[in-house]
Amino acid sequence: MAPDGWVSSEHRNSVLWIVVLSTVAIVFDGYDLVVYGTVLPTLLADSSQLGQLDPGTAGALGSYALVGVLVGALLAGAFGDRIGRRKTMLTCIVWFSVGMAATALAHNIGTFGVLRFLTGIGVGGLVETVGAMIAEFAPQGKRNLFNAIVYSGIPAGGVLASIAAITLEDSIGWRGLFWLGALPLVILLPLAFLRMPESPRWLVARGRGADAKAVCDRTGIPMPVAEANETGDRVGFAALARKPLLRPTALLGMMSFSGLLLTYGLNTWLPQIMSEAGYNAKGSLSFLLVLNGGAIVGGLIASRVADRTGPQKVVAVTFCLAALSLIVLTAQLPLGVLLTAVAGAGVGAIGTQVLIYGYVSNYYPTTARAAGVAWCAGFGRLGGIFGPLIGGFLLGAGIASSTAFYLFAAVALMGALVTVAVPKRRTSVGAPAATTNDAFTTITEGNR
């Protein structure tokens, strides 16, 4: 094996294809979840679009998609460990693309809300599935980096949504922005169908060694061996409900709850908060661009540190960065300082959630990995649901925006405390035999 973890150029190319396809899919997931925040000022200001919206109703609409994400993540967790990663991923790409196209056709608040919920089901399933995919394909020493690259697609999608809204909304309208979110159906699905293999590790865990060997022969991916069985005959969510996974699963879920409350609370309401602070429409959207841009750059840097030191400490530190940045946003400071604080909040909120997905997906054994990621993505979506609702409630009640920032800062500190309480895993969850390439050694990264 080469020092960089690849056994051959074919192995490297196959895994990089998986990383690229997963990243593009998550970019459109991120676009879907953020585009609502970019069009929200338009929908609030113009009742001819969907009907009369007040901040409370707008916050509820923002949460419908996240309820769908919760449902989709849990469904994918229930089925992903049984039917496989590939089938789940392809289904979710079709689902959320069709949902985005249908949302572009909505003409009233009720239909819009239902379609946002249905679209969220596909988004949630995909967010859960790619974490399991990357954990089972990435070489050791690159798992946190590859997870960060893939899940940075969420803030990258936010950047794309912000740029599209700034440059295109005047010409194509908010409906055109939703039509753009349906593009994966024609540009991503065919490539994923051809280049996204089933996980050999999942096939081995399900007793399908011959199928796993066929995939490995075709792709150059080294053949894994069966893992030490930590969960007995329990698969998926059943394995999470008992020791040794019960307590860490609860804590990891709270981590994700905190990260996603910050992520969706800020993505939904930051443009409106800044608009009420006196910035024009394009200026307020620029804060959203900085928020997500900071998350991408900071998340990638933090992931490299996490591959060397383990993700647990890094996640705790970035949560604290979010708290500090949000407190700075409450002060009357020059624009440059505010933009720096917004970027720091992006790293500490959205960037932290990127790290959490990598941390979680590498924490679990293959027999419970999809369920573990689904639990954290699904339970975390409760935080994502509360984020827009909290912002809508505070703004609708006429409470100062600084109160929302203080509340979000407290959530970030709670996330940091929960993170340090997660027990370290010391069990090999997939150590191969001596003759097997150690690109498939899956000692949990957080236990170095």
CB contact at 8 A, 398 and 274: no
Domain tally for the chain? 1
Domain that holds residue 17: 9-447
In a domain, 397, yes or no: yes
pTM for the structure as a whole: 0.72
CA distance linking residue 29 with residue 134, whole number of Å: 17
Q: How far is CA 193 from CA 72, 91, 186, 197, in A?
A: 21, 10, 12, 8
In a domain, 47, yes or no: yes
pLDDT tens digits, 268-280: 777 766 666 666 5
In a domain, 3, yes or no: no
In a domain, 424, yes or no: yes
pLDDT tens digits, 286-297: 777 788 888 888
Share of the chain above pLDDT 90, in %: 24
How many residues appear in the chain? 448
Q: Is 378 exposed, middle or buried (0-12, 13-18, 19+ CB in 10 A)?
A: buried
In a domain, 351, yes or no: yes
Q: How far is CA 55 from CA 62, 235, 253, in A?
A: 10, 43, 29
In a domain, 283, yes or no: yes
Structure tokens at 229: 């069985």
In the chain, the amino acid numbered 250 is: A
In a domain, 2, yes or no: no
| Largest interatomic CA distance in the chain | 67
In a domain, 1, yes or no: no
pLDDT tens digits, 382-434: 887 787 777 777 767 777 667 778 888 999 999 999 999 998 865 433 333 33
Structure tokens at 297: 């750059």
Query: Terminus-to-terminus CA distance in the chain, angstroms?
Result: 21
Q: How far is CA 294 from CA 136, 276, 351, in A?
A: 28, 23, 8
**Main-chain phi, psi angles of 428, to 5 degrees:** -70, 130
| CATH code, 431 | 1.20.1250.20
pLDDT given for residue 232 in this prediction: 52
Q: Which of 357, 370, 430, 379 lies closest to 82, judged by CA? A: 370
pLDDT given for residue 440 in this prediction: 33
Q: Which of 63, 121, 120 lies closest to 382, judged by CA? A: 63
